[in-house]
A and B are shown apart, each in its own frame.
Chain A
Amino acid sequence: MQTLMQADNLAQTAAFLLLFTLVLVIVMAYLMSKQKALTKSMLIQSRRRFYSVIDCGGSQQVREFQPGDYVGKVLGPCGEGGQAWIIGIYSEEVKESMK
């Protein structure tokens, strides 16, 4: 009877240790994957598109940024005696479509 009780205790202890180790491994794996995901998310480079804003006597037009564009660049006459010039350059993130 005593031997059976000892065997029963042994099984309980072994089960507890197994469960404890399993939980420990899962928690550590979760923490490490979270850390890796955080690092990865910081380094992901989202694609950007660049635009130049052109002003002509108060009316504005946006076109793709071209090499050589800079803010304040005069592009030439426009409208009635006005000057077309670049008043701003900005970027926008390209939203990737879900596949």
Chain B
Amino acid sequence: MVEGASSLATWIQTLLQLLWMLFIVMLILGFNQRLQVYLWVRDIRSKMVILDSLASEARNRTLDFLLKNNAKNPETLLNRVQEFFVIEPVTIEPTDIIKRLEHLFNIRVRRFKEDFEKALSDVDEVVRGKAEVAAEITAVLNFIHKLVRHYLLLGEKTNNWVLIMQLQLQLSQILQIASTYRRALEDFLEGRPVGDAAGPMTAVRLAGPNAKWIEIERDTTYTEVDFEGRKLFIIKAKGPAPEVGKPGSAVEKIVKSLAEKGRTPSLIITVDAALKLEGEDSGTIADGVGAAIGDPGPEKIKFERVAAEYGIPLRAVIIKMSLEEAVMAVDKKIYEGVEKAVERVKEIIRSESSPGDVVIVAGIGNTGGVV
């Protein structure tokens, strides 16, 4: 009996030793890495299901909105918008790059507008604007899903575990961005102002209830207001449809027209929403120098050029918020930030201009839900 137990114990001990050796050999051959990659891929695939559902939900919601407003061929329209692209201009020859970039953006905007005017001919421009933004959000969510899938399949195909690891590490953040866009879609469709509307909201508060907004550029309006002896020209995109307009072109036009009459503005102030750093409070404001506008270049450079040409001080006021707050409906902190921005703009006007001067204030951002 004792001998039998001894023999069994020896066998089990040998087997365990073999298992340990096998384990060590597998470690040397990189089995742990393969297991890790398997777990990463599994995690990415589970998150891709969520990304796919967010993109599908957005597509269905946008299609519902288009159908409700009697759009012609909504599916074809949405498919075209989803796959639409803009090829960046050549950058190794920088001559006229801004002009070329602006030209391409203008074509893109015109193309979209014409397509939506054709498809939604029976509704007003506010509904068309909402449909346009909804289609763009759908396109963004679709693109995020396609891009994540592309990198996952590429990583698997080329056995590139670094690519898979990077994707897995970034995916939580990507998922958060996608989820934010999905929620923002509802705010745009319901016509509620989003955080990015902080600039136009500030402009409207400065202008007051009796302001007459006149269109000066495509989707861009201005109004004239008297403030403590100064003449204010307040500019913003045309609402309440979600538009960003061409504030740079509008300011350039106004400054040149005033200069011709010998009334060169003494100050230009831009007000915009700005992304805060983690740890900063939302709705806090700050002021500085330069053009507070987040466009890719064509509009921003117009502020800088016209201010430099006529020697006008260019001041900026920003309202800080997170990306989530910028694309979703204004919350109370941002609303309070707008109130603070209005007061800060007034302080700057009082301290940096004199009665009788002309001052330009541009509220930069999306005017969805703002006049």
A interface with B by C-beta (< 8 Å): 2-3, 6-7, 9-10, 13-14, 17, 35, 38-39, 42-43, 45, 48, 50, 53, 55, 65, 67-74, 83, 85, 87-93
Contact = CB atoms under 8 A, between A and B. Distances in A.
Contacts of A42: 172, 175-176, 179
Top 5 A-B pairs, shortest CB-CB distance: A72-B371, A85-B209, A70-B240, A3-B6, A90-B335
A55 B338 CA distance: 15
Contacts of B327: none
Interface residues of B, number: 44
A42 B330 CA distance: 19
B129 interface: no
A71 B201 contact: yes
B9 A92 contact: no
B247 interface: no
Interface string B182-204: 01000000111100010011001
Interface of B: 2-3, 5-6, 9-10, 12-13, 16, 43, 47, 50, 172, 175-176, 179, 183, 190-193, 197, 200-201, 204-205, 207, 209-211, 239-240, 328-332, 334-335, 338-339, 369-371
B193 A6 contact: no
Contacts of B209: 55, 72, 74, 83, 85
B307 to A, nearest CB: 27
A50 B329 CA distance: 9
Contacts of A72: 204, 207, 209, 211, 239-240, 370-371
Contact of B179 (A7, A10, A43, A74): A43
A92 B332 contact: yes
Given A7-B5, A42-B176, A50-B192, A70 B331 contact: no
B192 A89 contact: yes
Contacts of B5: 3, 7
Given A6-B10, A71-B204, A72-B204, A91 B369 contact: no
Contacts of A35: 43
Given A43-B175, A70-B191, A89-B192, A10 B331 contact: no
Contacts of B3: 3
Contacts of A70: 191, 193, 239-240, 369-371
Contacts of B210: 83
B338 A88 contact: yes
A39 B172 contact: yes
Given A70-B240, A90-B335, A91-B330, A7 B371 contact: no
A6 B338 contact: no
Most buried by B among A69, A70, A85: A70
